[in-house]
Copies of this chain bind each other. A is one copy, B any other.
Amino acid sequence: MVKRYNSKKIEQLIYNIYKGYGFTEEESQEVAHMLIYTDLIGIESHGVQRMIMYDDFIRNGKIRVHNRPEVVKETDVSAVVDAHFGLGQLNGIYSMRLAIEKAKQHGIGIVTTRNSGHYGIAGYYANMAAEEGLIGLSSCNSRSAMLPTHATKALVGTNPIAFAMPANPNTFIFDAATTTVPQGKIEVYRKLGKDMPALWVAKDGETPVNSHNDTKDLDALRDLDSNVGLAPLGGVTEDTGSHKGFGLGVIVEVFTAILSMGNTSNEITPDDLSVGPCQSFVAIDPSIFGDKDAIIAKFSAYLQAIRDLPSVSGKPVIVAGDKEAAAYQDRSANGIEIDDKTLAEVTGIAKRLGIDYAQYVD
């Protein structure tokens, strides 16, 4: 069952847990803010729900609590960060702050980060730049999950692209895997016992796997050597644009793993603690191109023209960021949604760390 919980109290609980792991007060605040933000904008799959996975990683040494990101190469407009397998969220926040600083001083900053960890939603980091009045982009790679067009084996990650830019009334936030859907979406459909559209998962290159009962094939999605994989955005044939999603996935590898000389998707294996995903962070100051207010006003007017289009009955045209803004307003007022299983996981972690959690989840 899903219940609503006060976001401020849960944020405080997360803060205590991360302090319990050994992170500093400031770091624990940053992680708590990041995870709660994710739930506040309605992406429940990637917020509090992920804490049990991070807890596993902290306990098995995949996330190294005491390692900190280090700049290994730098120019006025760029940096390469080695994250030394520290917490993905802290690497992300550190790297995007560096990109923002460079953008404020020199107009543009591009930071690419290797040996990182799972950093949650890419959109959070892109939005950090937007909150400073800048354009932000962030991407990450992952272990192989996407089938290159015609291939019978996956080799590219789910490789999301996030882009954020200030606009009125809502910040434009785009955050999308370059596969048609991310892995998590498949899991949600399986849990719900729902069949999937044909363009999500394929076997032997082109055969759709779309019944939630295809247990063996769907389990094989997690097996790096299997003949099952996620379809790129655009499906598995050139006719539907498969090569486009595939190409975009490769471009994400460039900005994350290739430029940082980190691990490409095919080098990331879940059990190897000496490899990790790579991420990229870009900030651009619109004022290097013109009057920032005028640029944002022009963008806002364009987005409004899109919202105002006639549409299919009952289905309004939604601009990226609008759903998230509505969810943020709702959840800030009425609480974030946490299911019983997730709550039990989080309170279990708290208990183990000796944290009195009752006051935060009443």
Contact = CB atoms under 8 A, between A and B. Distances in A.
Interface string A203-227: 0111000000000000000000000
Contacts of A108: 77-78, 108, 110
Interface stretch (A51-59, A86-94, A251-259, A350-358): A251-259
A107 B76 contact: yes
5 contacts: A76-B107, A78-B288, A150-B311, A174-B250, A258-B299
Interface string A138-155: 000000000011111101
A319 to B, nearest CB: 8
B302 A258 contact: yes
A37 to B, nearest CB: 20
Number of copies: 2
A317 B147 CA distance: 10
Nearest to A106: B77
A52 B78 CA distance: 44
A169 interface: no
Given A250-B303, A261-B294, 5 more contacts: A150-B315, A152-B311, A233-B233, A259-B295, A264-B298
Contacts of A206: 312
A335 interface: no
Interface in A225-262: 233-235, 239-241, 243-245, 247-248, 250-251, 253-254, 257-261
A261 B289 CA distance: 9
B234 A165 contact: no
Main secondary structure of the interface of A (DSSP, over half): mixed
A106 B251 contact: no
Contacts of A135: 254
Interface string A173-185: 0101000110000
B78 A197 contact: no
A112 interface: yes
Nearest to A246: B320
A317 B77 contact: no
B261 A311 contact: no
B77 A107 contact: yes
A289 B112 contact: yes
Contacts of A199: 240-241
B77 A176 contact: no
A266 interface: yes
Contact of A110 (B148, B172, B181, B284): B284
